Amino acid sequence: MQESSSGLGIGPELQDRLLVCGKRTVAERRRRNVSSVNWASDAASPFDAEYLYPDWSIAVLSVTDCLAEAENAVGPSDFFGTVSTSDMNAPHGCLKYHTTMSSDSGTGGLPKDEADHFQQVQRVDERIYLGIQIAGGHILLPILVLTILFSKRITRHPVFVIFCLSWIFSSILYSLLSSHLESLSVYRGRSTNDLLSLNPSYDTCLIQASLLNGVQALTACTNLALVVHLWAVLRYCNCNHSSETKGMGLLSRSRKETIHYCLLLGGPFLAFVVFTVVTMVIGSQPAESADGSGTIPDSNLSIPSVFYCIILQNADFSHSLTPGLNILRSVLMFTCLVSLITVGYSVAHIARLVYKRREYLREKTFNWPALFLRVVLFSIYRIVALSLNVAIIVHPDELLLVGISKNNIFNGVIDFFQAAIPLVAFLAFASEKDILNVWCFWRKDKTQTEKSPVSREIA
């Protein structure tokens, strides 16, 4: 992408492609109950283009304000001065008025105090988002995995290790922020002193968007695999061998276990590959210009949103961005379906098995109520995250909004909530007694006893 000559932080071709998002009808604005715009308190409709890019947002914010002022006959003014009535006939007029202002400050022509304030808000969001990602997925979960792998006093099944690794991988991918055409960096803020957002290359953005769609499927499937593994162990941890082997079918138990764990360990990675490849193929198509003149040279369908890149397919954006976000919605629908199955398995099967076998578990396993409680608490957190994903499926446009306001909780809540899942996983599963004993090596636990085979399997 090329730098915009007007001082905006995105290329002119992409501006042209996305400017159509602001071309909504007065009836649509009334339907969304948008009469005036104040980015700090009243979020505009998610169909407004200003929220696609932070550095472009205030530039086009005056567009929406111009149109709202004209509609309500309040007066021909916007945030930055006075425009003629003829300029308010189309978003292009307001945008043209704004972009002709001085851009010597390097903030796209924005007044310095407005630009500084917007940068400060964006930096706070970035620090919260990256801080949560780094704490849970870059530091704490890796410490937990390394402890499990290298400590002789801790035994965990590979399904649990894969579960942790999937969330570490997810956290790393969501933290990749590209800053220039050839560079890709981790732990880098998107806000700079010169521009309010980054200008990633098409290829870099497409790679991240494809991997993120794949990793959402990966983490959803590893969550399900962990719950299915726990159910399988509880299902066959009977008191006598004959009842253990009863109902195993024509396959021997060892062979059936092999197939079972191959599916649990390999299924999530198969889902990752499928979603990544499909997104890469679809997203590689060239983006169409908003004026219908053809495709944008050397482009693809990836665009940077607030914290990471997504795929915006070619579609009619006259009234909504939703037609272009079908890939995003499909991935979210898949993860929601898998999450529902996971939660249903936890409630309908595991809870019932725990109740039926409570006497045996109390005798043979090590602190099983605490383990079950951890799984339940983590599942509850996933239910809340699931409900937020359903909101995005209904209104995917709002994922692109910048900042938190009374009409826009999605950017601040969903992204932060999802970023905290690795941290929640660490708090839920790293507080087990055997792990704490390894970390607190100077303390001697006199009550520690050898775990039974069933206990090790559940762990």
Tens-digit pLDDT profile for residues 98-120: 333 333 344 444 455 655 665 66
In terms of Cα–Cα distance, which of 394, 362, 208 is closest to 283?
208
pLDDT attached to residue 269: 95
Residues 143 and 162: their CA atoms lie apart, in Å, by 14
Q: How many helices (H) does the chain have, and how many strands (E)?
A: 18, 6
pLDDT at 304 over 50: yes
CA geometry: angle 144, 148, 150, nearest 5 deg: 115
Rounded Cα distance, 10 and 189, in Å: 17
Q: Which of 404, 350, 414, 412 is nearest to 379 (CA)?
A: 350
Does the pLDDT value for residue 139 go beyond 90?
Answer: yes
Label residue 366 by pLDDT band (50, 70, 90): low
Asked if residue 420 has pLDDT above 60, the reply is yes
219-247: string of b/e by CB count within 10 Å (b at 16+)?
bbbbbbbbbbbbbbbbebbeeeeeeeeee
H-state helical runs in 346-432: 351-356, 358-364, 368-394, 410-419, 421-429
The pair of structure tokens assigned to 172 is 């790393």
**pLDDT of amino acid 249:** 40
Task: Enter the pTM of the model.
Answer: 0.70
Q: Which class for 440: exposed (0-12), middle (13-18), buried (19 or more C-beta within 10 A)?
A: exposed
Confidence of residue 426 (pLDDT cuts 50, 70, 90): very high
Contact call for residues 283 and 331 (beta carbons, < 8 A): no
DSSP per residue, 121-183 = HHHHHHHHHHHHHIIIIIIIHHHHHHHHHH-TT----HHHHHHHHHHHHHHHHHTEE--SSS-
Neighbour count for residue 180 (Cβ, 10 Å): 13
pLDDT at position 303: 78
Q: Looking at mean pLDDT, say which of 44-53, 91-100, 151-160, 255-264 comes out highest.
A: 151-160
What interhelical angle do 368-394 and 202-236 show, nearest 10?
A: 140
**What's residue 354's pLDDT?**
74
Residue type, 313: Q
pLDDT at site 8 = 30
Task: With cut-offs at 50, 70 and 90, classify the pLDDT of residue 357.
Answer: confident
Does domain 114-458 bear CATH number 1.20.1070? yes
**pLDDT average, residue stretch 435-456:** 64
Beta-bridge partners for 303: 310
d(CA 274, CA 392) in angstroms, rounded, equals: 22
Of 219, 227, 206, 209, nearest in space to 137 by CA: 219
pLDDT band per the 50, 70, 90 thresholds, residue 90:
very low
Average pLDDT over residues 238-247: 43
What pLDDT is attached to residue 414? 76
For the chain, where do the domains classified as CATH 1.20.1070 start and end?
A: 114-458
Closest CA to 188 of 180, 172, 201, 177: 177
Is the pLDDT reported for residue 263 higher than 70? yes
Length of the chain: 459
Find the distance separating the first CA and the last CA of the chain, reported in whole Å.
Answer: 50
The yes-or-no verdict on residue 274 having pLDDT over 90 is yes
Average pLDDT of the residues of the chain: 65
